[in-house]
């Protein structure tokens, strides 16, 4: 190697290392910068508290299944959906606090359920149930709210219906209000935040009973509710 080419190489290496330093600098500014903005976004999202209320529990089995050897009672159908929903919310959304009224097979009174929600200053209350009707043909999800003019309960109920229909491909029945039902539902009447009571489907319908008892069905339903909460948060906060 001649002295000249050695000089060239040195210069070239020097330039390369210089551009490498420059590149690293830009790279780190970019990434540290975006890191900071991620942190900023995280702290910008105010805390969102969701109370998940798995209906019934303990000696209160809720609606009974058609065959205890094959299927579960309402209290055991709704609990895994409630727990899965909570997991999605905690793992996939930032700054969300999930409060359960029950996480296992215990009896919790209706008064206690509303007390838990009110004391948690929840942003949203979701009560999860499964329906029953003597007419076996009747099927579909149904969302109950206390009253049609409670703006945010209605907004969430509509998002829930949309997700259940489009995402979960379930039949959805009309939103029921205290007026259309003709009676109040305790947990909706006594919670101070936007609140819905969701009937996941009819245990009295043979097809829906199979779906409600399947891990597949429960995952799809939990995922649809999760998506509705995520969408709702964007407009509510």
CB of 100 to Zn ion, least distance (A): 16
Residue nearest to Zn ion (CB): 129
> 141: which 2 tokens?
């999800």
End-to-end CA distance of the chain: 70
Q: Identify which of residues 131 and 163 has a Cβ nearer to Zn ion in the complex.
A: 131
| Residues 6+ positions from 209 with CB-CB distance below 8 Å | 65, 66, 71, 202, 203
CA–centroid distance for 118 within its chain: 19
Which residues from 81-120 bind Zn ion, rule CB under 5 A?
Answer: none
CB of 42 to Zn ion, least distance (A): 37
Q: Is there binding between residue 201 and Zn ion (CB under 5 A)?
A: no
Which residues from 25-64 bind Zn ion, rule CB under 5 A?
Answer: 55, 62
Which residues from 120-139 bind Zn ion, rule CB under 5 A?
Answer: 129
CB of 71 to Zn ion, least distance (A): 15
Select from 41, 79, 84, 42 the least CA-distant residue to 229. Answer: 84
Number of Cβ atoms within 10 Å of the Cβ of 140: 18
Three-state SS at 54: strand
CB of 128 to Zn ion, least distance (A): 9
At which residue do the structure tokens 């975006």 appear? Answer: 34
In the complex, the residues that contact Zn ion under the rule CB under 5 A are: 55, 62, 129
């Amino acid at each position: 190697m001649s002295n000249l080419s050695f000089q060239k190489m040195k210069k070239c290496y020097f330039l390369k290392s210089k551009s490498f330093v420059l590149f690293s600098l830009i790279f780190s500014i970019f990434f540290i910068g975006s890191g900071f903005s991620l942190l900023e976004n995280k702290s910008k999202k105010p805390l969102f508290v969701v109370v998940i209320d798995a209906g019934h529990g303990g000696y209160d089995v809720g609606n009974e299944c058609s065959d205890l050897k094959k299927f579960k009672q309402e209290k055991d159908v709704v609990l895994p959906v409630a727990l899965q929903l909570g997991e999605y919310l905690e793992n996939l959304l930032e700054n969300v606090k999930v409060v359960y009224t029950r996480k296992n097979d215990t009896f919790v009174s209706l008064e206690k359920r509303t007390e838990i929600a009110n004391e948690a200053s929840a942003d949203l209350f979701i009560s999860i149930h499964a329906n029953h009707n003597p007419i076996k043909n009747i099927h579909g999800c149904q969302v109950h709210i206390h009253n049609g003019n409670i703006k945010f309960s209605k907004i969430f109920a509509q998002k829930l219906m949309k997700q259940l229909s489009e995402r979960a491909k379930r039949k959805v029945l009309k939103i029921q209000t205290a007026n259309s039902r003709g009676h109040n539902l305790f947990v909706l009447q006594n919670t101070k935040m936007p609140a819905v009571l969701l009937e996941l489907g009819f245990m009295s319908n043979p097809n829906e009973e199979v779906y409600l008892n399947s891990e597949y069905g429960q995952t799809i339903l939990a995922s649809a509710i999760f998506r509705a909460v995520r969408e709702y948060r964007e407009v509510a906060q």
